[in-house]
């Protein structure tokens, strides 16, 4: 009887030790898999709300500009120029194309191209409209 009780105790001790080792290995694996997550290759800067009025329409937009992570410092140092270029491009939007089903993508393309042209660069990858209201006059 004492021998069976000793075997049961050994099984419990060995099982507990194995459980602790497995939990430790799982913890190490989770730690390294979490720290190995890819970092976003893009960075964003917000502008706005920008309000533009013309004789045909009024636009109120909040804009996010996407660049590569390496260009984050460049983006922060050129915020004033970008803000001016985005406002000027929004003021020159074609009102007929704006009302078409692809009007938002048209505006995003115009804003991206205008910002890149104004700063003589190709650093601006995308321009996203996070808030966009158009009102006909």
The pLDDT tens digits of the residues spanning 10-62 come to 888 888 889 999 999 999 888 888 776 776 788 899 998 999 998 888 999 99
Q: What is d(CA 81, CA 115) in angstroms, rounded to the nearest whole number?
A: 8
Residue 124: pLDDT band with limits 50, 70, 90: very high
- CA distance readout (Å), 59 to 39, 91, 94: 35, 8, 12
Asked whether 67 and 74 are in contact (CB, 8 A), the reply is yes
**pTM of the predicted model as reported, rounded to 2 decimal places:** 0.69
Asked whether 86 and 63 are in contact (CB, 8 A), the reply is yes
Fold of 42-136: Tetrahydropterin Synthase; Chain A (3.30.479)
């Amino acid at each position: 009887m004492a021998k069976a009780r000793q075997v049961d105790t050994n099984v419990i001790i060995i099982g507990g030790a194995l459980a602790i080792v497995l939990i430790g290995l799982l913890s190490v694996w989770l730690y390294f898999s979490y720290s190995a997550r890819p970092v976003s290759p893009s960075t964003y800067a917000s502008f706005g709300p920008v309000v533009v009025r013309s004789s045909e329409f009024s636009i109120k937009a909040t804009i996010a500009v996407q660049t590569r992570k390496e260009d984050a410092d460049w983006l922060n140092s050129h915020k004033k120029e970008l803000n001016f270029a985005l406002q000027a491009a929004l003021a020159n939007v074609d009102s007929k194309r704006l009302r078409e089903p692809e009007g938002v993508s048209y505006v995003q393309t115009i804003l991206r191209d205008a910002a890149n042209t104004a700063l003589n660069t190709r650093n601006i990858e995308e321009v996203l409209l996070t808030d966009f209201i158009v009102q006909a006059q």
